[in-house]
A = this chain, B = another copy of it.
Amino acid sequence: MGNRFVFGGLFRIKDHLLKRMKKKKAVVLLSGGMDSAVTLYMARQDYQCHALIFDYGQKAVRETGCARKVAQMTGSPFYVLRISFPWKGSALLDALVDVPAGAVSGGGNIPSTYVPARNIVFLSFGVSFAEAIDAEALFIGAHQLDFSNYPDCRTPFFESFQETVRQGTKKGVEGRGVRIVAPIIDRTKKEIIEAGLGLGVAFEHTWSCYKGGALPCGACESCMFRAAAFAEAGIPDPLLK
């Protein structure tokens, strides 16, 4: 009886391992924010996930720490890739430009927090990583509803980048190019929080503020969106507890 129980246990472990081994691989771009955390939790339902985290000199230094934590909590191997955009051009990088307080992306304007071609660079490294480890998909937590003024967060951009992968990579021309997946692209921030709560995302380990303080500034656009979203979802932000 004891033996059978042990056997049963072993079979269960084997089943679990087999299931895990059978799962296809995906790369998930993890920023430390709540969008990419929810995206990782979504992706891991169907994929064995590998997180890719960029350290690009952003002011919000807590971002990479949060990203590591979320990767660890989901048992996802991760890479932190240090890159730089040494040219000026964005309030997220340039110490001489203040991160603007409040709403900056309204009225069709692209905000000063825009980093030129940032998502193209991130996706490019993601595709390189995915192709190298034989991952089938690359997940990114972009959404176009609340932040619709970032050009590289919109569906036409991702469709075009998918075509670039099809044309410009070995697996792409072989007809099995890395698939770009943006599962929350059309969700509101409130819906993203609700999906994340359903999946058990530890929002206390996500960071949204553009600045680098110990606590969120509460004044930048990203803080405002987050606060509004938690208010709409009707729960307190666990980061502020």
Interface size for A (C-beta < 8 A) is 46
Q: Which of A114, A119, A165, A173 has the most CB of B within 10 A?
A: A173
> Interface readout for A161-196 with B: 1 if CB under 8 Å, 0 if not?
101111111101100000000000000000000000
B81 touches A119 (CB 8 A): no
Q: Chain A at the B interface: mostly helix, strand, loop or mixed? A: helix
B168 touches A151 (CB 8 A): yes
**With A120-B127, A125-B121, A161-B164 given, is the CB distance from A170 to B86 under 8 Å?**
no
**With A161-B168, A167-B156 given, is the CB distance from A117 to B88 under 8 Å?**
no
A212 in the interface (beta carbon within 8 A): no
**With A168-B161, A170-B116 given, is the CB distance from A89 to B121 under 8 Å?**
no
Q: Nearest chain B CB to A21's CB is how many angstroms away?
A: 20
Q: Nearest chain B CB to A142's CB is how many angstroms away?
A: 11
B132 touches A87 (CB 8 A): yes
> Interface readout for A92-132 with B: 1 if CB under 8 Å, 0 if not?
00000000000000000010001111111101110111011
Q: Nearest chain B CB to A3's CB is how many angstroms away?
A: 43
**With A152-B168, A168-B157 given, is the CB distance from A118 to B114 under 8 Å?**
no
Q: Nearest chain B CB to A54's CB is how many angstroms away?
A: 11
- A and B contact pairs by CB, cutoff 8 A, 30 listed: A81-B84, A82-B84, A83-B83, A85-B125, A85-B128, A87-B128, A110-B173, A116-B169, A117-B128, A117-B165, A117-B168, A117-B169, A119-B168, A120-B128, A121-B121, A121-B124, A121-B128, A123-B124, A151-B168, A151-B173, A152-B168, A152-B169, A156-B167, A157-B164, A157-B167, A157-B168, A159-B167, A160-B166, A161-B168, A163-B163
Q: Give me 10 other A-B pairs in contact (C-beta within 8 A), A120-B124, A121-B124 excluded.
A: A79-B86, A87-B132, A116-B169, A117-B128, A151-B167, A152-B168, A156-B167, A160-B163, A163-B163, A163-B164
